[in-house]
Structure 1
Amino acid sequence: MQIKLWGEWALFTRPEFKAEPHSYQVMPFTAAIGVLESIFWKPEIKYKINHIIVLNPISTFTIQRNMVQSKQIYGNVKRWIKNDGIGGYTAVGDRAQRNHVILRNIAYIIDFNFDLQTEEDLSNKYAAQIKRRIEKGQCFKQPYFGCREYIAYFGFPLPEDQPAPELKGEIDLGLMPKQMHFIPDKKGAISWRTAEGFVKGNVVTEFAHFVMRDGLVCYRN
């Protein structure tokens, strides 16, 4: 199956640039999976990205945004709510300006399929539902490119959707996220929903070496 994604801006933050976010050159596979889950989500579905086709030339720009230096703690927020905001957080003395390197005018074609984590074979049913969602522009929640303010639009690719001439050749993209693995652990930091219910555990990110050849992003062999 294929879906076309496009938008004005994107920020796929590299983990080594958390303080001043710097985007990957192209959309990581994990971000593509996140968009697909935003369009059609079921706990028994596991999306798999085969490859990504980059349509527009890679273009970046830099902006400065007001951020805060400290992290907020959930327990403090609950206490502020209980006390009607008394002792709440004020950002004035904690504000810091950060540079952000952002992608501009992005468009991709995502080639994907999915596996079912159930014994019952509902693949044809779910595939038809996914196609209807894409056709009608419906979604489970608003998809976005890295940050919620960078909205991702979606639809079916057209025959004329081809990589720009500027993308000819090979670009080594280095290590990029490939898949998020959820490891069950009763003492884990997060919870997620499966076909059997909620499970507690941790997340491990799998990285792979990627390359872009004539606009097509895939693993380096």
Structure 2
Amino acid sequence: MGYGITLRVNGDYALFTRPEMKAERVSYDVMTPSAARGILEAILWKPAIRWVVDSITVLNRIEFESIRRNELGSKIPPRNVAMAMAGAAIDLHQYTTSDRQQRASLLLKNVDYLIEAHFEMVPQKVGESDTPGKFYNMFLRRARGGQCFHNPYLGCREFAASFKLMEHEEVRPDSYYAEEAEIDLGWMLWDIEYGEELLKKKPVYTYEPKFFRACMRHGVIEIPDEVRL
């Protein structure tokens, strides 16, 4: 029995930020695999499973819109957090009135996607009663009922996403780019791999962004299972 799912996701606006841009936010042309995985995890996340995105179908025409948004100009330094955890009297507040900045953002508008994905069991986290069928039916029940742990979003939290489970017997809608044989979307963020290293006998958390060459064929972007640099 297969445990793949197809989820339709849409919204008025989306912002899948390109990491190579600096202060001004510019969106990728389409949803990234990590953003798609975040939507699936918003509906069902369990330590015993890991979501794998197989493909993303772009249903609507890719359109951009430029707006200005209020953002904070700084972040809380990790060093301050570590000192506060050690007992130091550190102020970890962020004061929006004094740190607010207006920045331009290039957004996607009127987005609509089909996410095809499956999940894999994580052997180290599987309990005695955990089975693939259990989690599959759990996801189906939650997706059909519109249930989620938190409201899924399209890149940024202010851009809420609506979702609908596509049943096996439902006819899939055609992509706006169904007649386009191939469109090269360039390098796109695949995911971020987190790890841990020892530095002077102390654990240091690391992260490594990984990218893949995204190519849309007839409106469908096939996502590689793994990216090696």
TM-score (normalised: structure 1): 0.81
Aligned partner (choices 157, 166, 174) of residue 162 of structure 1: 174
Match among 39, 44, 67 for residue 43 of structure 2: 39
Deviations 1:84-143 (A, max 9, x none): x9x965445544321100010111111111111126661111111111111111012111
Q: C-alpha displacement at 1:185, in angstroms?
A: 3.6
The answer to whether 1:177 aligns with 2:189 is yes
- For 1:5, the equivalent position in structure 2 comes to 9
Alpha-carbon distance change, 41 to 93 in structure 1, aligned in 2, over 3 angstroms? closer
Shift in Å at residue 71 of structure 1? 2.4
- Say which of 109, 118, 128 aligns to 1:113: 118
How much does 1:46 deviate? Answer: 1.0
- Give the length in aligned residue pairs: 204
Aligned to 1:55: 59
For 1:179 and 1:203, the matched residues in 2 are separated by 10
Distance (Å, rounded) in 2 between the aligned partners of 1:55 and 1:69: 35
- Which of the residues 133, 139, 146 maps onto 1:124? 133
1:49-88 mapped onto 2 (5 Å cutoff) = 49-73=53-77, 75=80
Q: CA deviation at 1:47?
A: 0.9
Indicate the RMSD between aligned Cα atoms, in angstroms.
2.8
Note closer, same or farther for the CA distance 1:182–1:71 as it changes in structure 2 (3 Å cut).
Answer: closer
Gaps of 5+ in 1: 190-200
Is 94-103 or 28-37 further displaced after alignment? Answer: 94-103
Unaligned runs of 5+ in 2: 225-229
Give the whole-Å Cα distance in 2 for the aligned partners of 1:125 and 1:178. Answer: 28
1:146 shift after superposition: 0.8
**Correspondences of 1:97-112 after superposition (within 5 Å):** 97-112=102-117
In structure 2, distance between residues paired with 1:21 and 1:4: 26
Distance 1:167 1:54, change over 3 A: farther
Q: 2:227: which partner in 1?
A: none
SS of the residue corresponding to residue 52 of structure 2 reads: strand
Match of 2:158 in 1: 149
Equivalents in 1 of 2:132, 2:94: separation in Å? 48
TM-score for the superposition, normalised by structure 2 = 0.78
For the residue of structure 1 that corresponds to 2:143, the secondary structure is: helix
| Amino acid paired to 1:123 | P
